[in-house]
Structure 1
Amino acid sequence: MPHPIRLAINGYGRIGRCFLRALHESPLRHSFQVVAINEPADLDSMAYLTRFDSTHGIFPGDVQQRDEGLVIDGVPIHVSHAREPEGVDWAALDIDILVECSGRYGTRAELERFLAAGCPRLLLSHPGRSARDIDFTLIYGINQHALTGEERLVSNASCTTNAVVPVLNQLQQAFGVEHAFLTTLHSVMNDQPLIDGYHHSDLRRTRSAMQSIVPVATGLAQGVERFLPALAGKVQAKAIRVPTLNVSAIDIMAQLSSDADGERLHALLRTAAQRQPRLQAYSDAPHASVDFNHDPHSVVVDGSQTRMNGPRLANIFIWFDNEWGFACRLLDAVQAWSALFAPHAEEAPEAALRHG
């Protein structure tokens, strides 16, 4: 009987904890098991922040500390507190994939330190420094079928890329896109302080996250070009942090190559949501951002805010839970990748998960 795929998490912050919870809340928990977490913070804090989360609520299961590790619903998780890749004996943990959620490592040389330390494969929760620094960048629903199983460094791109690429791809296929400008309204992140203070070389990020709307740099345009090379040089982007805890939005302005109208545009986006209901949704209700907290979709198109200006200028507004939706796509990436090197793992029963 196949054993569950063995996972480890490096960096147990917002995305690391959401990934563990997403697995716990998913039917895939029978096929995948987090066996190790490396996080420099102390174990008491790790256990507390697993149990209680201001954004996603109380953990829907039992969380205990035992023998310097965590126990989630009776399943032990080895915990280490190393600050460098070489500080953990990854080979001894016998893992299949390390989910790298610290965001500290972006170049191939940095990432290969994990491989040299015994990790067989890395799944990054960020785009990496560049496409050359990784073996494959994955957006589930777009290109997971191009995985071969031979990769060792795979990126899950970013939450914004996962949200906007499907929509731009649909526009490109239906009408063509001459130019696009993307404005991301992103909830606050932990690289911003609560009050003004010396903090970051980007001087705007020294300002209080909860008192201001703060423009920041973004690599979203480059991320789009990785997946849609036909749009190379045609996309620009800016990002603005807003004082909310979670859920973000992107305002898309696209100059189309052929004529369209509001009815055709809405029909295109509704149909796309029907084709991939787990990944994309469509709503024309009068939403506020809080409506999408803990929403598992990569993107929700807001039909009430989507319109045409003339025959070729499209304005599309999309929502996404930048934590939960992205964590769910990490889990999809684990499933798609592991199916290639362990094709029967998804059949592992819950008994194997708990006792494997």
Structure 2
Amino acid sequence: MAKSTNRLPSEASPVKKNIISKLTTWATTPKGMSTLLLGKMAFKMAIASAISLIIAQGLRWEYPFYAVIAAIIVMSSTHGSTLKLGIQRLIGTTIGAVAGAIFAIALGSNSLSLLLCVFLTVFFASYFKFNEAAKLAGYIAAIVILSHSQSPWIYAWHRYLETFLGIAVALVVNNLIFPARAGTELRRYLSQTLVHLEEFYRLVVNCALTGNYDRASVDGLKLNIINSLLAERELWNEVRQGQTNEPIDTRINEAWEFLIRRIWEHILAMEHTVLARQQDNFWQMLSPQITQLAQVTQNAMLSLATAVKFPESHLSLPEIEVAIANATQELNQQPEIQQTNSSMDELLRFFTFFYTQEEVGRKLQRMAALLNPSNS
């Protein structure tokens, strides 16, 4: 028994190392990274809500849960986005509390007062572009009129303080626990977008080569890409405002914003072209000329997706230029093109696909060049 017990640590050690290795590998996958980010966000929300509750209760405020709600709702992935949400919530709370107090004093607590106040509050908040604050303003105004018409100004002031506390706690927690600045988040989103674009591109090329098209997968990828591009737009704005942890000379060049959107548009154009084609035999006859270029382009997207995550990355993609030159030369020497009975429309579809594919490659080359700070 003693010998068996002595062997347990040495036997368990490889198992432990294997588990750690698998977890580390999983954490670097897109699904693993996404799960970890969700966990970090949930943890930050939990910490911020608990701290807000403790402070509000320590101050003996009557409704500490308003501070908790604010801390949870405004928490976002970066300091800049958290501050933006916090300001919107503070504006909504202020507008709603003031409007509710005015209408409660002027018209009392009744359905007419509620109707007019909510309408005017939401309308003018939206009219003056406080879109994210409009509904909250209407909600706070309704609470003031219906539940606190006896002391509306006191209630309004308390709501403002509680909301301010929750926002302040969220900002502090976001900066101290798993801090993520706009530059870091932007790199992560750009990497994620490139991975999704590579999947979309691969499915479109496969349709060109085989005629098979997985529309369900494509629709899911399109939605992911659109969501990433929208998130990137906000992050680009934060980076321009200096809300990032990167020095200027190592930031992603702003031309990336244009280039990645152009690649997205090019692949959509390629998709439209292959779905409109009519003669499969013609495309299959010329498929060798686009296969190598497609493979090189896919590899380039994945290489860029890895490189962009790290500041001061350097990447060169000379293989794209070689693949484009080879494909163009082979197509120019194809006697089948002159001898084919395919219609002019079909020829135009194929060459539209090919030259758009070539443009995707050139955009990737430019993106790789811009990773080098000396070319920015």
Instruction: Tell me whether the two structures share a fold, i.e. TM-score over 0.5.
Output: no
Q: TM-score range by the shorter chain?
A: under 0.3
Rg (Cα) greater in structure: 2
Q: What's the TM-score once normalised by structure 2's chain length? A: 0.22
Q: Higher RCO, 1 or 2 (CA under 8 Å, sep at least 6)?
A: 1
Q: What's the TM-score once normalised by structure 1's chain length? A: 0.23
Question: Between Structure 1 and Structure 2, which shows a larger proportion of helix residues?
Answer: 2
